[in-house]
Amino acid sequence: MKSATEMISLSQYLIEEQLKLPYATGDFTALMNHLVYAAKVVSREVRKAGLTDTILGATSETNVQGETQMKLDRYADILFTKALSICGHVCVLASEEQETIIEIPSGYKIGKYTFAFDPLDGSSNIDSNVSIGTIFSIHLRKSPMGRMGVESDLLQQGNLQRCAGYILYGSSTMMVLSTGNGVVGFTLDPSCGEFLLSHESIKIPESGSIYSINEGNYDFWSDSVKAYIRKIKNIENNNKPKTLRYIGSLVADFHRNLLKGGIFLYPEDTKSKIYPLGKLRLLYEASPMAFLAEQAGGMAITVDGERILDAVPTSLHQRTTLITGSKKEVEFFLDYTKQFKK
Ligand code: AHG
Ligand code: MN
Ligand code: MN
């Protein structure tokens, strides 16, 4: 680990990356600097959430997902929406907290990128001071420059992402991102207000002993998922059963497995029909996480084995199942569940 004086800041990193690209215009760097600003402000509010009643607790609203909107959901949504809408390099946004696309306000420059985000991931954990996060996904627009972006600019495959990442408001605040050349991690140093490069190249271990799934949904799983979970827990068949670690914040569960190795599963709910296609949203949860997983040497598929990054979104808030993590763990899931598929 480098000392703080040797570590480069995220802003310096982005400029160095930009200089490597002869055709770079600096638009992406400018966009990212607006994102970093919003991340620092949300991090500051999260850190003092228990001290003010403006951040903890629920609003009286339910969001487009039909879930109670937490005050911090709304705060983060407003902040990231504003920061990215006025940066001059985005043509259209999509937020988990807003039903339709977010257009660029009149009077502001319309740029060449799209920005899809989950402003606050793990909302159910906010009031209990458990790690939460923000997830973002950036594409190049498909529609011609010079006019407002449209929904189809956002509905692009994950393998076309220009950048994907998350901010984790955990024991420290980290930003983990990839622009397609591996995964890097930056840790916020509150004493100087800079994200400093702390993880130069994150690679997920090929296998891992952690599995992450909401065991409370056991009854709702398909037979193949039930059989897989029984298999990885069955001591007779394994010399070492896996360890269950599940926080209920995708960003935190994903980040831990990224560093330590393991598998995260959010399969479909075959019984109550609340989440027949899985709970997680493709555009701003599964797709950016899948980009990071693959860039770190891991995998990300649906419960049926489809590559998440190949999925073509048809609506902003469409849901998907998600199985992601260490390559060998996801491959074993695929291989083992085949025999139980009808
Ligand atoms: P969000 O707070 O943005 O709605 O996301 C919550 C998601 C995800 O973070 C987590 O993995 C999953 O919901 C947990 O769902 P369960 O509580 O059903 O396990
Ligand atoms: Mn979420
Ligand atoms: Mn959310």
Write out the DSSP string of 252-289: HHHHHHHHH--EEEE---SSS-SSTT-SEEIIIIIHHH
Protein residue whose Cα sits closest to atom 3 of ligand 1: 121
249-279 per-position pLDDT tens digit: 999 999 999 999 999 999 999 877 788 889 9
What pLDDT shows up at residue 168? 98
**Taking CB atoms and a 6 Å cutoff, what residues make up the pocket around ligand 1?**
96, 118, 121-124, 214, 248-250, 279
Please state, in angstroms and rounded to a whole number, the distance separating the CA atoms of residues 321 and 304. Answer: 9
What pLDDT shows up at residue 20? 87
**Length reported for the chain:** 342
Q: What number does CATH give the domain 210-340? A: 3.40.190.80
In this structure, what token pair is assigned to residue 102? 């977010």
The answer to whether the beta carbons of residues 79 and 42 sit under 8 Å apart is yes
Domain at 10-199, CATH homologous superfamily: Fructose-1,6-Bisphosphatase, subunit A, domain 1 (3.30.540.10)
What residue segments make up the domains of the chain, in order of their start? 10-199, 210-340
227-241 per-position pLDDT tens digit: 999 999 886 666 678
- Tell me which of 64, 125, 279, 284 to substitute to probe ligand 1's pocket, judged by most ligand atoms within 8 Å of the beta carbon: 279
249 Cα: distance to centroid of ligand 2 (angstroms):
7
Can you say whether residue 222 is alpha, beta or left, with left for phi > 0 and alpha for psi between -120 and 50 degrees?
beta
What pLDDT shows up at residue 237? 64
In this structure, what token pair is assigned to residue 42? 């949300």
What pLDDT shows up at residue 270? 84
What pLDDT shows up at residue 53? 65
308 Cα: distance to centroid of ligand 1 (angstroms):
18
**Ligand 1 nearest-atom number relative to CA 122:** 2
What pLDDT shows up at residue 1? 57
What pLDDT shows up at residue 24? 85
63 Cα: distance to centroid of ligand 3 (angstroms):
10
Q: pLDDT digit of tens for each residue in the chain (342 aa)?
A: 566 566 799 999 999 988 888 888 899 999 999 999 999 999 998 888 766 666 666 677 777 776 766 688 899 999 999 999 999 999 999 999 999 999 999 999 999 999 999 999 998 998 899 999 999 999 999 999 999 999 999 999 999 999 999 999 999 999 999 999 999 999 999 999 999 999 999 999 999 999 999 999 999 999 999 999 999 988 666 667 899 999 999 999 999 999 999 999 999 998 777 888 899 999 999 999 999 999 999 999 999 999 999 999 999 999 999 999 999 999 999 999 999 886
43-83 per-position pLDDT tens digit: 998 888 766 666 666 677 777 776 766 688 899 999 999 99
273 Cα: distance to centroid of ligand 3 (angstroms):
21
- Tell me which of 285, 320, 322 to substitute to probe ligand 1's pocket, judged by most ligand atoms within 8 Å of the beta carbon: 285
Q: What value does the mean pLDDT of the chain take? A: 92
